[in-house]
Each structure stands twice: as structure tokens, then as C-alpha cells.
Structure 1
Amino acid sequence: MQKPTSFTASNETNAKRKGSSKMAELIALHRVAESRKPEGERICYDPYAVYFVDPETLAFAASNPEKTKEMSEYYERLFPGLGNSIRARVRYFDDFVKNSIDEGIRQLVILGAGYDTRAHRIEGLKEKVRVFEVDHPDTHNVKIKKVKEIFGSLPDHVTYVPVDFETDNFGERLIAQGYDRSLKTLFLLEGLVMYIPPEAVDETLSFIVRNSGKGSFILFDYYPESVVDGSCELEVGKNIHNYLVQTGEPLKFGIKEGMVETFLIERGFSRIQNVTAEEYKKMYFHGINKDRKVSSILFFAHAVIE
């Protein structure tokens, strides 16, 4: 666990990485850290996230608390508030899934599922909703192995759909695995759209609009376009852009600030809501958490397919 040595140079070798997503493991680590806080303090809770983090990483953190604290502070200076925004994202998406179950969804499609554990920890999904988890085959292979280790077998209500979003037609793969286009469905795209090219984003949104039951929902998060192309004037935006290039998982898609409603209307969505950092901070960070910073450049958005 070393500090990055460069945040400016492109790393062509890493950009062509193979294997499961390191970003998926990093997000799981955020869920682990938040879940270990006292019940009245934690923003989100995921008892299974710990199984998706390298045991050596956890062992290092446990045996080197001062070093771990130093590194956490370093990354907080580099990306102020981003970790808290990621944890708020988990909570917001959890709450949205729970509300959607109450509103009668029959299918949940998790695009770029990574090490998402909602199928196993959100009450009502197993009984009422068929879950489709869509992600790169390499990440899926790790996920499936871990799920078998945790639960002894794969759950009946979850279907795993291996897809490379840059080369495969995810809609064809999804339908082939039993997705029903007539049912009310929630599509979750957590930490996904910023990592796939604009044309893949458009193809994904087009499929959702054309192949979803009436009243279906979409929920995703995004960065402003300026963070993605490196032109953001905020230091945190520059740091995020350069760091992800250096680590081999560069940002590829963003939406111009203030344009998400126009962007989604043009693609056939309605009842659009953009959730800013100020809004989700107000929702979740109060009381003992009131002084925790969030990142102003990570937004959530949701919309309806009429």
C-alpha cells in the first residue's frame, strides 16, 4: 500500500488491464470501513463487503493503525469529501431500492454490479424481485466464487450476466438470460457511466427506454464533463482525473453541469431528479456526522420511463 508516485502521466499498460476491477474492491473497502462504525454513526451498512476485500489489505490495516490513518488522511487531502460521497451513494441507492420495492418493481438490473451485495442484504428482494447483475466476466468470476463461499451456493433470485460494455451488446445478453421487457424494473448504474465511452452510455440508455415496463426507473451517479476531460478548475477534479488515468481505470463519460435534465429528456426519460452533494449531505450527515465533508463533484440522478 504505497502512495501513488505520479498523478499526471498516462499509464498505457494499466489502461489495458485484465482481471477483476480494482475499483470494485476499493468501493467494497469503503463499505467495510463505514459498516464498522457504531450503528448510530454509520451512513451505510454492508455485512458482506468484507469478503470482497483482499485479506492482506485488511490485515495490514488491523496491524498498522497509524499507517492506515496516515494514508486515509493523505487520500482525504487529495480527494476531499469523495470517500463520504461514495458512502452516501451506497446509502442513497439502498434507500432507492427499498422504496422501489414498495412501489412494485419486479426486476432489478444492476449494471456494472462489481461487488454489489444488495441482492443479499435488502429485505424484500429475494421474495419479490428478480435480480440481474451485469458486469465484466473477470469481475463476475470473482464475485460468483465469493458468493458461493459466503452462502454455500448461488441464490435462486439472482442471474449473473457477463458483459464487456465496450464490446458486447448488453441488451441482447440480458434478454437471453431471461429479462422480461414488460415488467416494471429498476436499473442501477452505480459507479458505472463515468467508466464507459459516451456511445456505450447512449446505447445503454436507449435499451433501457425501449425495453422497460411502464413506470420503470433508472438511478445512476456521474461526474461533470470537466472532471472527465481534465479541464475542471477544482484541484479535486484534476486529482481524480489524473489518478484514475494513472491507475488504469480512466474516466470516459461525464455530463455538463446543469445539463442532466436536458441530457435525459433528449434520451426519452421523464420525472428527472438531480441530487447534489449539498442535498445528500443534508439527508445523511447530521448529528455526530455533521462535520464530515462530501465532494461537490459527485452527483446522483434518477428518472422514469413512462
Structure 2
Amino acid sequence: MQQPSRTARMIAALRARATERETPLCNDPFARALAGPGGFEDAARYELGYQHIELFVALRTALFDHETTRWLARGCTQVVVLGAGLDTRAARLGQRGVRFFEVDHPTTQADKLARVYALPGYPSENATYVPCDFAVNDFVERLDSSGFRADLPALLLWEGVTYYLDEAAVRATLRRIAEKLDPRSVIVFDHVGKRMGQGDVRDPSSVAAREGVAEMGEPVVFGVDHALPMLYEEGFRRARCASFDEIALNLTGTYDRARTFRFQHAVVASVAEDVWA
């Protein structure tokens, strides 16, 4: 039986730490309580090997928050969080008239719900929770049965997930979105480079990053250097891609090759929507 995700708790702890900085890049007031002591312990151990992990998580959170706010401002009324983990965007960014759907493995989702129900002030009603074992269930069918409207555009957030799936699963997810959802739907996701996915890395920080999540039961198995060919082959015709070096420079004004952020990327893609506008 799958256990509650340790990496989700660790990421929540890193979001909490980033939120509590003097000049924070992101803001998640629920993250500390959701992470629990174990999340902070894992974060501290992981950081011993990969010292830039908190900055990476802060940048990724800020980017996904920005894209969520941007697409809601453009009129999107459905947000789907795939592999939601301890995501709190429904609580932090929810608006009247917008439905958030959190899709995750039943065990991980049950762990999350137990935490949010015990957290005073957390608006758990802001999201519709969709249990889905991605290895067995069709997530689009599960969404449809939960009130999702496939004939209306949606924003899909796929944060910190692709590296733990094999290539076939990543492609299948993209294909289902392109084929079954409104073509104006938009997906935002991140991925690592091919060598990181294959384990063909030598620098100590990358080795430590892979070994750290593997020790927590979620090994990295997939990476791609250039996502555009894959996106095109699975039906997408609009895309923006950026390395986290570029994202870090834009959000912090800094660049440091030692971060290895050049091997980590974010993508915004759609079949028909202009993702640059």
C-alpha cells in the first residue's frame, strides 16, 4: 500500500521556510502546519546535499502562483491540480466562481485531508478532492464524475511530478489533456533534464538530489532536455519553456551556475490558447 508522500511534506516545509524569509519570494501561511516536524527534518537532511533546494522551491511556487493568478484574471474558472500533494492554492488563490480540483492518489490525499481538517482556518471547502490512482484510473474520467466541465477551458497545474513518472506516463497525461479537454486549456508543469532523469550525473549536488528523494521512496526516473518535441507529438501547438536559471534571474536578479538550475525547466503549454499573451 502506498504511504503518504514524504517528499510532499518536505516541499511544504521548504515553502514554509521560504515564506518566512525577510523578503519572501512566495507566501504560503499554511505550509508550516501541513509539513509537520517530519517534513522539516527531511528538508534539513536534503539540504545538506543540495543547498539550493529552498530557493528552487520558492521560485517554483512563485511561478505556479503567478500563472494561476494570471489565468484566473483572464477568465479561467477551473483549476486542476494533478498530483496535488500538500498544495494550498485552492485556499490561497481561490475566488468566487472558480472551482479547484485536487487530483491525487487516495492514500496521499487522505493524509492531506486529515491535515487540513485539523488546521484551524483552512478553507478545505475551496477544493473538490478527486482520488485517483494514476496507474489504474483515467484522471479525466475521475474529473468528469466530480463535476469538472471538459467542454470549458481549464488551467492544469502539474508541479513537481513529472520526474517521478516514466516517459510513457508523462506522454499519456499530456495526450489525454490535448485530446479530451477544451483546446483552450493550459497546462503548467516542470521537469528535469535527461541526464538527471537517467541518473547520468556526476556533480555532488545532483547526485545528492537524486539519492535524497530515492531514500524517501520517490526516485527520479524521467527527464527531457527539450520538451517541445514531446509537446508537439502529443498535440500541443502553443508553448513557453524556461530554465530555472532564467526564472531565478527574473525573480531575484541573480545567477549562480553552481545551483544547477539550468537542468530544471518549467513549461506553459496549450493546444490553442496563446500562452504568451
What is the TM-score normalised by the length of structure 1? 0.81
CA distance in 1, matches of 2:246, 2:19: 22
The answer as to whether partners of 1:195 and 1:249 remain within 8 angstroms in 2 is yes
Partner of 1:23: 7
Structure 2: how far apart are the matches of 1:252 and 1:236?
Answer: 17
Cross-structure match for 1:281: 248
CA distance in 1, matches of 2:90, 2:100: 7
**Residues 215/78 of structure 1: CA separation in 2 closer, same or farther (3 Å cut):** same
The whole-number CA distance in structure 2 between the counterparts of 1:292 and 1:126 is: 39
Corresponding residue for residue 160 of structure 1: 129
Residues 1:50 and 1:76: Cα distance change in structure 2 (over 3 Å):
closer
Deviation by residue 1:56-99 (Cα, 9 ceiling, x = unmatched): 666xx8xxxxxx9xx95x75462242331121000000000000
Distance 1:209 1:229, change over 3 A: same
Aligned to 1:65: none
- Is 1:228–1:253's contact at 8 Å kept on the other side of the alignment? yes
Q: Which runs of 5+ in 1 are unaligned?
A: 1-16, 62-67
Pairing 1:248-267 to 2, within 5 Å after superposition: 248-255=217-224, 257=225, 259-267=226-234
Measured in 2, the distance between the counterparts of 1:290 and 1:232 equals: 21
**Higher CA-based Rg:** 1
Unaligned runs of 5+ in 2: 273-277
**Is residue 216–residue 305 contact of structure 1 (8 Å, CA) maintained in 2?**
yes
Q: 1:301 aligned to 2:267?
A: yes
For 1:53, which of 35, 44, 51 is the aligned residue? 35
Structure 2 CA distance, aligned partners of 1:274 and 1:217?
13
The DSSP-based 3-state class of the residue aligned with 1:127 is coil
- Report which structure shows greater RCO (CA 8 Å, sep ≥6): 1
1:238 and 2:220 correspond:
no
For the structure 1 residues 101 and 292, does the alpha-carbon distance in structure 2 shift closer, same or farther, using more than 3 Å as the test? farther
SS at match of 2:96: helix
> Over the residues paired in the alignment, what is the CA RMSD in angstroms?
2.5
Indicate if the aligned counterparts of 2:9 and 2:38 stay in contact, CA closer than 8 A.
no
C-alpha distance in structure 1 between counterparts of 2:258 and 2:84, whole Å: 27
Q: Percent identity?
A: 30
Assess if the C-alpha contact under 8 Å between 2:11 and 2:39 holds in 1: no
Q: CA deviation at 1:116?
A: 0.3
Consecutive aligned runs of 4 or more in structure 1 exceeding 6 Å deviation: 289-293
Given that 1:84 and 1:294 are in contact with CA atoms closer than 8 Å, whether structure 2 keeps it comes out as no
Aligned residues: 271
Letter in 2 for 1:179: F
Q: CA, structure 1 residues 56+181, in 2 after alignment: closer, same or farther (shift >3 Å)? A: closer
Structure 1 CA distance for aligned equivalents of residues 47 and 8 of structure 2: 19
Residues 102 and 127 in structure 2, CA contact (< 8 A), matched pair in contact too: yes
1:216 to 185, 191, 200: 185
Question: Contact conserved, 1:112 with 1:192, CA < 8 A, in 2?
Answer: yes
Secondary structure of 1:150's counterpart equals coil
Distance 1:23 1:230 in 2: 19
Q: Is the 8 A contact 2:150 2:182 kept in 1?
A: yes
